[in-house]
């Protein structure tokens, strides 16, 4: 048996098939029906949406916590407490600040965790790494799928970079975020699309 003979690798074939699907998507920073705002955040660690107030996004960085009202694209609270007594990196939650000070917020970021990858409107975000270490995030609207060749032209490649800390939807599905170590992008569903 020749272990060193070069044969067709099914993993390579599958990767190339998936890359072809990614290449057929719409390359756009913002999917149709959404609006985007970017906030510069140095040393970003994790993010999480409130369940009680789903328009609120808690951002954790090396300098403390910030609270963004995604409905207005506005930073409304800031806390410079860098003691980290307010975060549980094993259970992946952080105590909120300001109007969310009594809420434990599930976070996703450098320690793991995650946010919902789909919403009640049938939108989803797919993580693709067919050109590792480059990561692509694919936004698939209205129950469309990147994995069906007939639907790839309805999907949007919204992220193409090598660094990603977290991504996902709010619990009401009207907002989603992508976060790197230096910025958080917030997407808001346009009202006429609801």
Residue 2 forms part of a structural domain: no
Number of domains composing the chain: 1
- Tell me the C-alpha to C-alpha distance, in Å, between residue 167 and each of 14, 86, 145, 177: 25, 22, 18, 5
Per-residue pLDDT of the chain (194 residues), as tens digits, is: 555 555 567 778 888 999 999 999 999 999 999 999 999 999 999 999 999 999 999 999 999 999 999 999 999 999 999 899 999 999 999 999 999 999 999 999 999 998 999 999 999 999 999 999 999 999 999 999 999 999 999 999 999 999 999 999 999 999 999 999 999 999 999 986 44
- Assigned token pair, 12: 């390579």
Q: Tell me what pLDDT residue 194 has.
A: 44
Which stretches of 1-125 are DSSP H helices? 10-23
Identify whether 5 is part of a domain. no
Has residue 51 been placed in a domain?
yes
Residue 46 counted as domain residue: yes
pLDDT for 7 equals 58
Q: Report how far residue 146's alpha carbon sits from residue 157's, in angstroms, rounded to the nearest whole number.
A: 10
Domain presence at residue 163: yes
Q: Does 105 map to a domain?
A: yes
Range of the domain at 140: 10-190
Name the pTM for this structure: 0.90
Compute CA distances 119 → 86, 116, 140, 173, 186, whole Å.
28, 7, 11, 5, 15
3 assigned to some structural domain: no
């Amino acid at each position: 048996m020749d272990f060193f003979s070069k044969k067709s690798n099914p993993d390579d074939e599958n990767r190339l098939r998936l890359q072809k699907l990614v290449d057929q998507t719409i390359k756009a920073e913002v999917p149709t029906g959404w609006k985007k705002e970017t906030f510069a955040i140095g040393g970003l660690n994790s993010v999480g949406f409130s369940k009680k107030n789903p328009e609120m996004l808690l951002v954790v960085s090396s300098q403390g916590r910030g609270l963004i009202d995604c409905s207005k694209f506005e930073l409304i609270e800031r806390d410079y407490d860098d003691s980290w007594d307010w975060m549980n990196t094993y259970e992946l939650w952080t105590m909120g600040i300001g109007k969310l000070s009594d809420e434990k917020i599930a976070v996703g970021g450098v320690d793991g965790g995650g946010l919902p990858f789909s919403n009640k409107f049938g939108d989803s975000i797919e993580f693709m790494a067919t050109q590792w270490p480059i990561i692509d995030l694919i936004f698939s609207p209205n129950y469309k799928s990147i994995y069906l060749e007939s639907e790839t032209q309805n999907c949007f490649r919204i992220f193409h970079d090598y660094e990603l800390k977290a991504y996902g939807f709010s619990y009401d599905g009207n907002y989603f975020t992508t976060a790197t170590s230096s910025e958080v992008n917030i997407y808001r569903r346009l009202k006429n699309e609801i």
